[in-house]
Amino acid sequence: MDPERVAKARSRGLSADDAGRLAALLSLLADPVRSRVLYALDEVDELCVGDLALALDATEDAVGYGLKILRTAGLVATRKQGRVVFYRLAAGFPEPLRDHCFRQLVQITRADQDGEDD
């Protein structure tokens, strides 16, 4: 046993509460429709449900449900214009999450897939 390393890991590790919150956030991103919605909203300023459904080749019901969950989690904000509701990434949406989860992790999974085909 290495008490110094154990103490360092314990003092710098995630608390159970933080780990729970992180797991909850990652579970939001684990759904393909929700992750695609966030990725699409990162590429354009805002879209309505119908436009998102067209862009993602998904049903409006699936996109609407995903948006409801993302909005409840505080990841997506809305703006209403007449009867149309537009969705965008929430103010303060973390750039590292956008960069690492949206771009780098997708690239990693593509590289892994390319390696399996050899």
43-76 pLDDT, tens digit per residue, is 898 999 999 999 999 999 999 999 999 999 999 9
Whether 52 and 87 map to the same domain: the answer is yes
Pick the residue with more confidence: 80 or 100?
A: 80
Tokens matching residue 99: 């960069």
* Same domain assignment for residues 87 and 46: yes
The sheet carrying 84-89 orders its strands as 47-48, 84-89, 76-81
Are 69 and 39 in the same domain? yes
DSSP state of 85: E
Q: How many domains does the chain have?
A: 2
Domain region containing 43: 31-92
- Tell me the range of 10-14, 30-34, 54-58 where mean pLDDT is highest: 54-58
Query: Is the domain of 57 the same as that of 85?
Result: yes
24, part of any domain:
yes
The pTM of the whole model exceeds 0.85: no
Give me the residue label for tokens 């390696």: 115
Residues 12 and 65 in one domain: no
Query: Has residue 105 been placed in a domain?
Result: no
Residue 21 vs residues 2, 27, 71: alpha-carbon distances, Å: 29, 10, 16
pLDDT at 102 over 90: no
Q: Do the domain assignments include residue 79?
A: yes
Q: Calculate mean pLDDT across residues 20-43.
A: 89
Asked if residue 64 and residue 12 are part of one domain, the reply reads: no
Average pLDDT of span 100-114 = 74
Are the C-beta atoms of 46 and 79 separated by less than 8 Å? yes
Q: Which amino acid belongs to residue 48?
A: C
Q: 19 and 36 in one domain? A: no
CA atoms within 13 A of residue 102's CA, in its CB half-sphere: 17
Task: Average the pLDDT over 99-110 and give the result.
Answer: 74
Q: How many CB atoms lie within 10 A of CB 13?
A: 10
